[in-house]
Amino acid sequence: MANLLDVQSVRAGYGSINVLWDMTLGIPEGKLTCILGPNGGGKTTLLRTIMGLIPASAGNVSFEGRDCTNEKTWNMVSQGVVMIPEGRMIFRDMTVEDNLLVGAFPKKCRARYKQNLDMAYQMFPRLKERRDQLASSLSGGEAQMLAMGRGLMEEPKVILVDEPSLGLAPVIVDEVMGILDNLRNQGRTIVLVEQNTNKALAIADHVHLVRGGKVVLSQDADQVDLAHLHDLYFARDHQNAS
């Protein structure tokens, strides 16, 4: 099957600092693809480049076979590419429900906001209980669920989730991973950026290890040799230490 999303030889960075070096990877439809890698490896930069939040200076990004390199972020969202950012980025001074309704704003899904709100509440019953509370009053796990619920309100074809487990207690991490697992089992396409290798491998179909702005390993999750993965994962830290 063709990939839903393709990143081909992409270079990108911030000003004069290049971060991604000819990065190539494909995201197959209906699968959960995990992007693993150490701090500063370029995982978030990759997602930002796909979303058009920072420009690619070389290479191509395509979605459903159409070139969308350096497309406006808004157009990526309306085509069905949705990012749930690192740090969740919820609107703390708005209620839980209003945060979800922000996700219903794209024109293509505005008419179905009620069904989508019901779907979000069904998936995250705790958000329903807290619908009138300010988002600032949510726990870390609930805030992550709110960020995911808002993303789902946008009717994504592919969901890019950046480190959803960051700062959460292990039991809540399991809950978040379970939700992502379910979403994939419902046929959704998910890109999960994680540092929690074991938890990510338990639900992933495919794995890409990103280090130093490059993909250093691409494998089916059930083929991964953990010792080899860890060697590749930590090599950068060894270099830094020397």
- Summarize as ranges the residues that interact with ligand ATP (CB under 6 A): 14, 17, 19, 37, 39-45, 86, 195
Token couple for 175: 């809950």
Binding partner of residue 39 among ligand ATP, Mg ion, none, CB cut-off 5 to 8 Å per kind: ligand ATP
Nearest-approach distance from CB 44 to Mg ion, in angstroms:
3
Binding partner of residue 16 among Mg ion, ligand ATP, none, CB cut-off 5 to 8 Å per kind: none
| Rounded-to-5 percentages of helix, strand, coil across the chain | 40, 30, 30
Stretch that binds Mg ion, among 36-44, 56-64, 138-146, 213-221 (CB under 5 A): 36-44
Range list of H helices, the chain: 43-50, 73-79, 96-103, 107-110, 113-123, 125-129, 140-153, 170-185, 197-203, 226-241
Which residue of this chain has its Cβ atom nearest to Mg ion in the complex?
44
Residue found by looking up tokens 């996700």 in the block: 103
Interaction residues for Mg ion, span 58-97 (CB under 5 A): 86
Distance CA 161, CA 191 (A): 6
Residue 146 burial by CB count (10 A; 0-12/13-18/19+): exposed, middle or buried? buried
116 forms part of the interface with Mg ion (CB under 5 A): no
Spatial CA neighbour of 173 closest among 196, 205, 150, 201: 196
Nearest-approach distance from CB 37 to ligand ATP, in angstroms:
6
196 forms part of the interface with Mg ion (CB under 5 A): no
User: Closest CB to ligand ATP among 28 and 212?
Assistant: 212
Nearest-approach distance from CB 12 to ligand ATP, in angstroms:
9
Q: Tell me which amino acid residue 224 is.
A: V
Binding partner of residue 74 among ligand ATP, Mg ion, none, CB cut-off 5 to 8 Å per kind: none
| C-alpha dihedral, 17 to 21 to 22 to 26, nearest 10° | -110
44 forms part of the interface with Mg ion (CB under 5 A): yes
189 forms part of the interface with Mg ion (CB under 5 A): no
Binding partner of residue 85 among Mg ion, ligand ATP, none, CB cut-off 5 to 8 Å per kind: none
Nearest-approach distance from CB 17 to ligand ATP, in angstroms:
6
Q: State the chain's maximal CA–CA distance in angstroms.
A: 57
Nearest-approach distance from CB 45 to Mg ion, in angstroms:
8
Binding partner of residue 45 among Mg ion, ligand ATP, none, CB cut-off 5 to 8 Å per kind: ligand ATP
Contacts for 206 with CB less than 8 Å, ≥ 6 apart: 28, 31, 32, 33, 34, 218, 219, 220, 221
Binding site for Mg ion (CB under 5 A): 43-44, 86
